[in-house]
Each structure stands twice: as structure tokens, then as C-alpha cells.
Amino acid sequence: MTTSAGATETQNAALLARLDDLEPGKPHRRLMLMGGLGYTFDSFDGALMGYALSALIIIWHIPSEVGGWLLSSIFFGYLVGALVAGVLADRFGRRKLMMTSLLIFCACSLLMGTATSLPELFIWRALAGIGIGAETALIAPYISEFLPARVRGKFVTRTVGFLAFGYVLAGLVAPLVISPHPAVGWRIAAVLCALPVVLLLWWRRKLPESPRYLLAKGRIEEAADVVEKMERESGGTPAGAPPVTVDTATGAASASPPVAPQRGVLAPLAGLWTGGLARTTIMIWLLWFILIGVNYGFSSWLPSLLVLEKGITLTNSFLIALVTSLAQIPGYYVASVLIDRMERKWLLAVYALGATSGAIVVAFADTTPVLVLGSALLAAFTNGAAGVYYTYTAELYPTAVRATAMGTASAVGRLGAITAPIAIGYLFARIGWINVFLVLVGALVLAVAVVVAFGARTSGHSLDESKPDDH
């Protein structure tokens, strides 16, 4: 006799309960490290090549309006990669898309070092961005699908926090590789950005598919294998495989119930606007657009603005950027400590207000120490907030559309990352340093208002316990 839909749902719930009941252990730490290294290499590439392109803007005397487009080139790829990967991951699986994304970004980073013109550099940078954008959009929802609710915030935030290590590493490498001979150093930097391809070898051997994704596709036996392996590695005793169902028409045994016919590839996009999720989607998109736009607009232009506006040498501007990168580490760490103790929406509001204070200090700084302090505050709060909104976004959507939701939110965030450096280039030429940062302050205040007014409560909820109207 075939298993009824109700029995299948009970079976799936029991398997997910086993996943949620696991004590965090070796498999969870390994997943955090694997995903965290992916984030490290992504931010290392973004920051190091940002330094390299900032150097080219100065030594080639590129106008600020054109420089903004060059600095934004990677974000055009980010947008495409995040959007496409999210939709495809909800259809074909998280693991396959994550590995493909890593390969694309490493290959295109290497080819970027061969560019001989600005258009060619822009193209390779944008293509590398497709891989980076896809990978950054997938890691957080992938990790979250393995974690118990009681520690999910801490683990995901600390995984996202690995982004800070990439920025710090780039800050250390830039003065050594780019500053001495910028005309050649930027090409060496591009080659260094391709080295993370070695991570692919580890991922291929050790990266499991998400059991939540497998269950959503009716692949119960595979999901059970993943959960049982995690139970063994965590020091527990596997609770056993799911019951076998028998097809009465053929007499064949199967560990999985029949799977519903596949929907269209773009169907998950429609799912972001149904079941009470429309308001959530609008809120999340606006939040990502503002916070990522402010973050990348500031970090992309900081070295150039320090040289052009403050008369600081290129090498010293890199060192100041390194200090701001180091400030990200406590920003992420404090967020990881607070995220399972505070409601996510309120923690996001606190971090956005902290970023606002940093932007105000930068705008009116009249000495280098004050400028460094404001830059450090802005970097700590805008980047620390990322750990919170990556976690928060994954929690607001069900498994069937989770990767799509993260991908589209990330894509909208990349629109902010594209817009901000270009807008800052134009605004700086017309209204000056102080007014540019006052514009950033206004955007951050809007982000606070949006998340407080429309953000749902998710702390302590199971991943598929969607509560879009719970404020």
C-alpha cells in the first residue's frame, strides 16, 4: 500500500525534528568553515580588486564619473549571478550551484588579469561577479537549512562574518602587491583572486546536499542518509531510515513517495508574492538595497576619496582601509552574540543606527584620527548587519523558495551596490564629500524605519514556520 500524503508529511517532520534536535558539533562546524571560506575568498576578491581599480583610477587619471562605472562592474555580474543561482538552486539543488559558482568566479578572475583595455577589464570583472554573486547568495540559506533554530542565528552570522577575514587579507596584500608598482600589481592581484579554486576540491568531496531541499523534492532516503551521517558525526545514534513505501501497481519498493511534477523554472519567483509574502519581499528588498549600497559605495570609493579629498598617499589610504576592515570583525562578532538573544528586526535597526552615526562622523571629520574612527564605525555596523540580514532573510521564507528569496534579495542588494559607487562618483564631483555622506545618512535612517515598521519576528522559529504577519 502506498503512503498517504499525511503519512509522508509526518515522516518528513520526524526527519526534520531529528535535524533540529542535533547538538551543534563537528559537522556543523565543518559546514560553517566550508561556507565561511567561500565568503572569505569572495570578499578578498571584491576588496583586493577594488583597491586595484582604485589605483588605476588615480594613475590613469580616470574621471570620477567613469571610475564609478568601473568600480561597479563586478556588481552587474553579482546581480545576474544572485538572481539566476537562487532560482536554479531551488530547482536543481544547492550543492551543484555552489560548486559551479566558485569555478566561474575563479576562472574569470584569472582571465581578468589578461585584460588590455577598460572595456575588456569591465567585461571580465562583470563575469567574475556572476560567480561571486551566485555563491554569496547561496551559502547562507544552505548553511541555515542544517542548523537547529536555537543556534541558527549564531552559526549563520559567524559564517557570514568570514567576509571580514577576506577584507582584512586584501588590506594586507594590497600595499605589498599593488602599491609598489600599480601598473603591474593589479594583474598579480587578479591572479591571486583565482587561487580559491582549490576550495572546489574540498567541496566536491565533503559538501552534502541540504536535507530540507531533498525532502522538498521527495528524495526522503537521500535526506535520511545526510541526517544519519550528521547524527553519527555529532556523537549520537541514528534514529533509523524512513519507512519504505510500496507501489501497489508495480509491487516495487521505494524509500520516497512519488514526487509532484516539476513546476516551471521561474515558478519560485511567483512564490515570493503569494501567501502573505508580498510585504515581506518588498521590505527585504529595500533593506538589502540600502545596506549593501551604502556598504559597497563607501568601501569602493574610500581609497580614492582619501587621496583626492584629503591628500593622503595611496599607500596610507590602503592602510586606513585595512583599519576599517579590521573593525568589521568585532561588528560581526557582537552580532553573532546578540542575534539569538534579540529579535532579528530590532538588532538590524540597532546596527543601521550605528552605521548612521559612523556616516555622520565621516562626513564632518576634520582630522585623520576622527576620519579613521568614523570609517571604522561605518564598516563595523554595515558589515555586521550583513550577518543579521542574511540570517533573517533565510528565515522569512519556506524551503521551496528560500534560495530564490535569498538570490533575488541579493540581486536587489547588488543593484544598490551598482548604483551607489556610480551615484557617489557623480555626487562627489558636484556636491562634495560632506553632502555625499549626508545622503548615505538619509538612506540608513530609511532602512531603520522600514525594518521597524514592517519586519516580522523570526527568532526561535523553525525554518519553515513562516510568519509574515507577525510583527
- Mean pLDDT, 10 residues at a time, over the chain (471 residues)? 58 81 86 90 84 76 74 81 84 86 88 83 88 88 86 88 87 84 85 84 85 86 89 69 42 37 60 84 91 78 64 68 83 91 90 86 80 85 88 86 86 83 77 76 85 77 56 55
As given in the structure block, the three cell numbers for residue 294 are 551604502
Residue 306 has what pLDDT? 65
CB-based contact 141:406 (threshold 8 Å): yes
CA distance 73 to 340: 36
Contacts of 292 (CB under 8 A, 6+ apart): 386, 413, 414, 416, 417
CA distance 432 to 74: 25
As given in the structure block, the three cell numbers for residue 148 are 537547529
Residue 347 has what pLDDT? 92
Three-state secondary-structure class, residue 254: strand
Q: Walk me through the domains of the chain, giving residue ranges and CATH numbers.
A: 5-213+264-454 (1.20.1250.20)
Contacts of 160 (CB under 8 A, 6+ apart): 39, 140, 332, 386, 387, 390, 391
CA distance 50 to 44: 10
DSSP 8-state class, residue 247: -
Kindly state the helix (H) or strand (E) to which residue 252 belongs, with its residue range: none
Residue 20 has what pLDDT? 82
CA distance 442 to 283: 17
Residue 87 has what pLDDT? 82
DSSP 8-state class, residue 311: -
Q: CB burial class (10 A; 0-12, 13-18, 19+) of residue 363?
A: middle
As given in the structure block, the three cell numbers for residue 220 are 526522503
Q: Is the pTM of this model over 0.85?
A: no
Residue 240 has what pLDDT? 52
Residue 254 has what pLDDT? 37
Which residue type occupies 396? L
What's the gap between Cα 197 and its chain centre?
A: 19
